[in-house]
Structure 1
Amino acid sequence: MTRRHSGRRPTGTQGSGTQGTGQPGSGRQGSGRPGPGKRRPGGRPDAARNAAYDLMRAVDERDAYANLLLPTLLRRRGIAGRDAALATELAYGTLRGLGTYDEIIAACSDRAPEHVDPPLLDAVRLGVHQLLRTRIPPHAAVSATIDLVRHRVGPGPSRYANAVLRKVAGRTLEEWLAIVAPPREEDPVGHLAVAYSHPRWIVNALRDAVGGDVDETAALLAADNERPRVALVARPGRCSVDELVSAGAEAAGYSPYGAYLPEGDPASIPAVGEARAAVQDEASQLVALALTRVPVAGRDRDWLDMCAGPGGKAGLLDALAAQRGARLLAADVQYHRARLVWGTTREAAVVTADGTEPAWRPGAFDRVMLDAPCTGLGALRRRPEARWRRDPRDIPELTRLQRRLLDSALRAVRPGGVVAYVTCSPHLAETSAVVGEVPRERAEVLDAREFLPEAPGLGDGPYVRFWPHRHGTDAMFLALLRAK
């Protein structure tokens, strides 16, 4: 993963998953168990901080996906309740804030962060997060971090951690930002990059996507740093929203099949364990639903999900197809992702296939979902390390693939059929630019907003754009094309 701050490029090491719960600094009260501000006997670091530290090291060393690894790590170590909430807050919060924290560390150290041993740097970053963005008392945050460094890195490096953290503790986050961030009036992008901990190129891309408005860009970046709610989908014909509500969820605001879980583990809900419901972002539900709402003349029995893994949209399309007497073919180029789709669908046929060189005949389908591989810039809330992993040099290769897949999707659908082109990215190069290259004689671009009347603020059309700061969802793009 490439970690960035201030234009420098330190050495270092993106699917939906379980979302963390709990509040910063939670767990201070307990029945004899050390809370986040207490040291365990002998000064050994506690389980929550060890778990957060190990997650950060796995992200750095093995390119691990934090949202996939952390639940497994907590379960294997028997970490639950307030300790699990603290570990989640420390790990996710630190990963989101790396850009900001590295600038502050640089101001408090005689070494630039890229010249600090990575295991030591990750521990110090955890300490900085505790000092600046949690309710943990400063003396407890410093002492606990020094214990962590002493036991996991070494006694010598603990002196460096102590010196840096005591300097950091002398100011609030707002005071530090006034020192380390470029003035907003002189360098608005640079200021936002440091203040909201996003690489500069992503700030530029998001600003372009919202039309150049700096204030809205700031609101979007701030939403990226908020912990997302756990969104659930009740697969129609198999589960109802009422069943999820009776299990402790709250009905969603837009999706007729959506709900939000205020707290707890979604796997504890029987319908989720039985794959009648699932964790799925509300915007992801709505773009799949929009595809099924477009009227098509004649037959409507063969549906295709071209890039189906890991299976969120395929699971919903499978249930909707079954209700309407249609059949879904779900395909993914990677076998292990196709296996995930197999586990989340019931009626669909699932195959491993390359969408750019498909085995199916042209014009075989009435509806095609193309959830194209992309940078994932729309899901930075739930994939905290993704902002540091992506590189702008990835985009030309991705957009070439997106164009090939969209061309293939338009060949797979019959005349009069409909294709949904979806990306979990608002980047203009991956969205309107790709669709804009489709010749008018091949397809008509429909106004996608007409098929999602329950959701406001979707943009000027004909495309649909969901946003974290407007809708509380991932930033997701939808174009609907009718083949000619």
Structure 2
Amino acid sequence: MSTPAQRPAGANAGAKKRPYRKPAQDPARRLAFDALRAVDERDAYANLVLPALLRKAEQDVNFTRRDAAFATELVYGTLRMRGSYDAIIAACVDRPLNKIDGPVLDVISLGAHQLLATRIPTHAAVSATVDLARTVLTEGPAKFVNAVLRKISQHDLDTWLEQVAPPYEEDAEEHLGVLFSHPRWVVSALWDAIGVWQPQAAGRTAMEALLAADNARPEVTLVARPGRSTVEELVAALDEDATEPGRWSPYAVRLAEGGDPADLRAVRENRAGVQDEGSQLVAAALAAAPLEGGADARWLDGCAGPGGKAALLAALAAERGAALLASEAQPHRARLVARALEGNPGPYAVITADGTRPAWRPASFDRVLVDVPCSGLGALRRRPEARWRRRPADVANFAPLQRGLLRSAIDATRPGGVVGYATCSPHLAETRVVVQDVLKGRDDVEWIDARACLPQVPDLGDGPDIQLWPHLHGTDAMYLALLRKLR
């Protein structure tokens, strides 16, 4: 599907008029609007801007947990379904969406989400959203918002999507893009990837399951860092009804909706943390990969920011008496890595360095991980706005850096040592193609079957590399290739 209309950054043009009545103040809806404007105006990420807005709002004693939960649902729900809502809004207006002022379009989108994806009564959704419009816009745009929302309220979501999506038989990718609110190019890339990894099931059903999983609210998953915390400790510290063990990682605990990781002492003390199970599996697989000859004493995380995998690797290394060097090119991310590793009992160091111009000698490490920068298409559940922000050219722009980091990682590994190339994307141009290109013409590196390092995880494909999927594994779509340096 085509990308949703770009929201103009400026406020509504023209002189503001005093509303004919004072609108009711709704802190949750106003907060959600402010978050959407930050995403549109400053290219902010919702998972970064929303917590700051919530912390500020919670200083008001009248702002409740229910308000916070509602505001969170409005922000993430609206961003996830923005493509579908834009198609519906376009059918209800007499002008192109890019001719509608950005703040106005955001208010309408918030109202559309309430009407089409929540149990809020129609009259309440319309009335409260129009009141929001009177607060943040002016009376003229508020009347326009009211008229559009009343048109939207005439049908439910399924009926609208039947009307605005092209038939599947005529354009399958556009059809699925409209139904599941993904840009057409992303649908195409995901379909190509599924065709490689799950060719026996790469049809409409699999694509619908994957796109639906991208739109589902992700679970909060905790990691009990080995030697510092245990799954049993985390479960015991919470109501048993509020937790479930991880599906695949021996270090994972899944938190029930509404659970707050900050309530856990182990999290506050940095002995445990929040980490997607897919990221845990990447670190666990690298640690489980067999070495040939030599010691197992020096580990490197060459792209360590913001520090989740580095913290788990440091804990696993400490159990073996190994040391971890965590390197991150960006100073502010290196500080996050240092914070994540605080208190680790084993030897470790955090440095700010460019992995493509290494600050270490060649063949210095037994195990090396490079979780390279990428498009982030594997984490659309967590960063729903990324699907509208990314372009196909971004994938190509990351390619030189990804290849450079992998080459440097191989050079940093001793003979018999292991390299892990990971990325949070299922796009073939960021995953298997990168590894194949780097290994082309080299006879000093071989693939390791990564599936053997995660025997408990099903549906990993034919190997030797692995691809995790949100609809199959309940994780982000992490990719991992394991390579052994031969000489």
- Render the CA deviation track for 1:292-343: whole Å, top value 9, x for unaligned: 1112122110000000000010000010111100000001100000000000
TM-score of the superposed pair, with normalisation by structure 2: 0.91
Query: Per the alignment, in what secondary structure is the counterpart of residue 165 of structure 1?
Result: helix
Alignment of 1:63-462 (within 5 A): 63-78=43-58, 79-211=63-195, 212-248=202-238, 249-262=243-256, 263-296=258-291, 297-345=293-341, 346=344, 347-437=347-437, 438-439=439-440, 440-462=442-464
What displacement does 1:113 show?
1.4
Q: 1:225 to 1:12 in 2, by over 3 A?
A: farther
* Partner SS, residue 210 of structure 1: helix
After superposing the two structures, state which structure 1 stretch, 205-214 or 349-358, moved more. Answer: 205-214
Q: Give the secondary-structure state (helix, strand or coil) at the position aligned to 1:368.
A: strand
Q: Partner residue of 2:471?
A: 469
Alpha-carbon shift at residue 45 of structure 1 (Å) = 3.4
Contact 2:237 2:264 in 1 (8 A): yes
Q: Tell me the distance in 2 between the aligned counterparts of 1:341 and 1:370.
A: 14
User: Does the 8 Å contact 1:74/1:80 carry over to 2?
Assistant: no
Secondary structure at the aligned position of 2:266 is classed as helix
Helix, strand or coil: the match of 2:178? helix
Unaligned 5+ runs, structure 2? 10-20, 196-201
Displacement, 1:69? 1.5
Residue pair 1:372, 1:421 contacting (<8 A) in 2 also: yes
* Aligned counterpart, 1:50: 30
8 Å Cα contact 2:422/2:480 also seen in 1: yes
Give, in angstroms, the shift of residue 224 of structure 1. 0.3
Amino acid at match of 1:443: V
Shift, 1:264, TM fit: 2.0
Deviation at 1:11, TM superposition (A): 4.7
Deviation string 1:259-282 (CA, Å, 9 cap, x unpaired) is 011022211111111110000000
Give secondary structure in 2 for the equivalent of 1:150: helix
After superposing the two structures, state which structure 1 stretch, 361-370 or 264-273, moved more.
Answer: 264-273
For 1:332, the aligned partner's letter is: E
Q: What code does the residue aligned with 1:276 have?
A: R
The number of residue pairs the alignment matches comes to: 453
CA distance in 2, matches of 1:386, 1:424: 13
Alpha carbons of 1:273 and 1:117: their partners in 2 closer, same or farther (altered >3 Å)? same
Verify the 8 A CA contact 2:374 2:425 in the aligned structure 1: yes
Q: Give the structure 1 partner of residue 481 of structure 2.
A: 479
Deviation at 1:397, TM superposition (A): 1.6
Contact in 2 for aligned 1:6/1:103 (Cα 8 Å): no
Cα distance 1:134–1:9, how it changes in 2: closer, same or farther (>3 A)?
closer
- The whole-number CA distance in structure 2 between the counterparts of 1:468 and 1:100 is 21
Q: Partner of 2:359: helix, strand, or coil?
A: coil
Q: Deviations over 1:79-124 (max 9, x none)?
A: 4411111001000000001100001001000122111000110010
Q: AA paired with 1:54?
A: D
Q: Distance in 1 between matches of 2:325 and 2:134?
A: 54
**SS of match in other structure, 1:43:** coil
Which residues of structure 1 form unaligned runs of 5+?
14-40
- Supply the distance in 2 between the matched residues of 1:233 and 1:429 (Cα, whole angstroms): 30
CA contact (8 A) 2:8 2:101 kept: no
Partners of 1:8 and 1:96 lie apart in 2 by: 12
Q: Secondary structure at the match of 1:114?
A: helix
Q: Which aligned segments of 4 or more residues in structure 1 are displaced greater than 4 angstroms? A: none
1:425 to partner: Cα distance = 0.2
Structure 2 CA distance for aligned equivalents of residues 454 and 396 of structure 1:
34
> Equivalent residue for 1:18?
none
8 Å Cα contact 2:190/2:426 also seen in 1: yes
Q: Distance in 1 between matches of 2:359 and 2:444?
A: 21
- Tell me the amino acid that sits aligned with residue 23 of structure 2: G
Distance 2:27 2:260 in 1: 20
Deviations 1:405-457 (A, max 9, x none): 10000000011100000010000000010111213403101110000011111
The 8 Å contact of residues 254 and 454 in structure 1, kept in 2 or not, is answered as: yes
